[in-house]
Amino acid sequence: MKLLSILPFVALAIAGPLDFSGQAPLAVEDSFDLDLNERRLIQLEGHDPLWMSERDKARINLKAQGIKFFDITDTQELHFTASPAMNTQRTYPAPNSTEKVRPILKTLSSDGPKKNLEKFTSFRTRHYRSDTGKQSQQWLLSKISEITAEYAGQAMKDRVLIHEYNHPWGQNSIVQIARIQGSSTTDDGVVIISAHQDSTNLWPFLPAPGADGMQFTPDILYVDIDQSFPEDDGSGSVTILESYRALIAADFQPVNSVEFHWYSAEEGGLLGSQAVAKSYQADGVNVIAMSQFDMTAWVKRGTNEEVGVITDYTDPALTNFNKQLIETYLDIPFVETKCGYACSDHASWGKAGYPSVFTIGALISSGLLKPTSFLFNAESSFENSNKNIHSTNDRIDISDEFSFSHMLEFSKLAVAFAVELGGWTK
C-alpha cells in the first residue's frame, strides 16, 4: 500500500455509506477537548511522515481501517539510540521460579476482573480527549490505590509507588505507573507489564465501551450511538490489574523493579506509550523487558483457546522466553501470529530500542479487512479475534465468546513474567 493512495480517500471516507444515526459526522461534542484543525504528524510503515489535521485523522480513522500508525507529532526524536543499556543483546534464561509463581497463580480470580470491567466499560467512551476518558482514568487510578491499600502489607506499601504520567491532551495524567521497587543496589533494571486504557469508536466521538473488540456488516458500517465498548483494551487493563493484585497480596519482593503501565491514547497513534518510552530513553532507564497485553478476552466460537504470540515487531529472544512461560504456567497453548506495524504499545518501546513482546487473545491472520476494502488494503485481519472492537458492541455481555476464564490465563502470564524477570529477594 502506497502512502499517497490514502489521500484520495480522505473525502471518500466521509462520502462512503456510513450510518451515524443522525449525528453530524464532524460535530465534536462539548465533552471532547479537540481542535479539529490541529496538525498532526502521522508515521506509516515504509513512508515519510505525513501531516494531516485532526479532522482528517478522525475522518480517515486509520486504525479502524486496519492501518496501523504512530502519531509522532510530539515524539519525532524517539528512535533507537545505541546507549550501553540498550546496546546489549539480552538473553533470557528458561523459567526457573515455579515454586514462587505457582502459589500466586492459585490466588488469581475472575471476580475482580469482571467487576472492574463492568465499571470500566460503563463510561460512555474512554477516548483520550473526552471528559469520560479522563473520568475513567481517575477511576482506574483510584482502583489501583484501593487494591494496594487492601492487599499490600505495610512493607509492601512502602515499596509501591503509584503516580500519574501527565499528558497534554484532555485525558491527561492517564498513564499510571504502579512500581514495585526492587531491592537491587547494583542493577537498575526495570520490568514493564502494560495495557492501554483508552477506547475509541469507528467514529471517535461516538460511544466506545472498549471491552475487547468492531462489528462489521459486509457493505455498511453501522454505529449504535446508545452503547459503548469493553475489550479493546478494557480486557487487557483489568487482566494486568488482577496480576498486580495477586503479586502484592503475595508480598512480592523483586530484585529488579516491576512496573505496571496503563497507557493513554493508544488508539490515537500510540501517543501515551511513546511519551513514556521517550522519557525513559532520555533518562537512560534500563528496561530489561516490556510485555503488552491487548484484547485478552475473546475465544471465537468453535475454536480452541490459544494465546496469540506476536512474532513481528517484537524482540525474538524475549518472545521465545514468553513462549516458555506459556508452556510452563498456562493451561492453554500458544499460537504464533503477526499484527503488523505500530500494532500496540509494545511498538513504542521497540522503537526506543527496548526489548518488548505482545500477546493477544486470539490468532490474527493476514488478509484483506473486507468491510473497509473499498477504502484501504489493510495489513491484516483478526481471524479469530473480537470483531466488535471499536464499536458499540464491544461489551462483555454481547456474546458468550467473551471469556473471563480466558482472560485469567493472561493474568497468569503477567504474574509469571513479573516473577521470572523481576526475581525475588531471598
Q: CATH no. for residue 214?
A: 3.40.630.10
Task: Spell out the long-range contacts of 141-149 with Cβ–Cβ below 8 A and sequence spacing 24 or more.
Answer: 141/176, 143/116, 143/241, 144/176, 144/178, 144/241, 144/244, 144/260, 147/241, 147/244, 147/245, 147/248, 148/178, 148/248
Q: Which domain holds residue 372?
A: 3-422
Q: In the block, which residue shows the cell 460512555?
A: 124
Total tally of structural domains belonging to the chain:
1
Q: Residue 108 has which C-alpha cell?
A: 488469581
For residue 35, the model assigns a pLDDT of 85
Residue 331 and residue 321: Cα distance in Å, rounded? Answer: 17
Backbone angles phi, psi at 12, to 5 degrees: -65, -35
Q: Is the dihedral of CA 154, 160, 161, 162 positive or negative?
A: negative
For residue 55, the model assigns a pLDDT of 82
Sequence-distant (≥ 6) Cβ neighbours of residue 191 within 8 angstroms: 254, 256, 257, 258, 259, 287, 288, 289, 290, 417, 418, 421, 422
The whole-model pTM stands at 0.83
* DSSP states along 288-339: EEEEEEE---B--TTS---EEEE-SSS-HHHHHHHHHHHHHH-SS-EEEE--
Q: Mean pLDDT of residues grouped by 10 in the chain (426 residues)? A: 40 36 48 88 93 82 74 89 61 96 98 94 89 92 95 91 86 61 75 91 65 41 38 84 97 93 91 95 95 90 92 96 98 94 95 96 53 32 47 54 92 98 89
Residue 379 and residue 377: Cα distance in Å, rounded? Answer: 7
Q: Is the dihedral of CA 89, 82, 353, 288 positive or negative?
A: positive
Longest dimension (CA), the chain: 64
Q: How many CB atoms lie within 10 A of CB 354?
A: 26
For residue 381, the model assigns a pLDDT of 34
Residue 43 and residue 55: Cα distance in Å, rounded? Answer: 17
Q: How many CB atoms lie within 10 A of CB 12?
A: 12
Query: Residue 67's Cα: distance from chain center in Å?
Result: 16
Residue 185 and residue 199: Cα distance in Å, rounded? Answer: 39
H or E element at residue 274: helix 271-283
For residue 402, the model assigns a pLDDT of 85
For residue 301, the model assigns a pLDDT of 86
For residue 375, the model assigns a pLDDT of 30
Query: What count of residues does the chain have?
Result: 426
Q: Is the dihedral of CA 93, 98, 104, 109 positive or negative?
A: positive
Q: Are strands 221-222 and 18-19 parallel, antiparallel or unpaired?
A: parallel
For residue 293, the model assigns a pLDDT of 96
For residue 399, the model assigns a pLDDT of 64
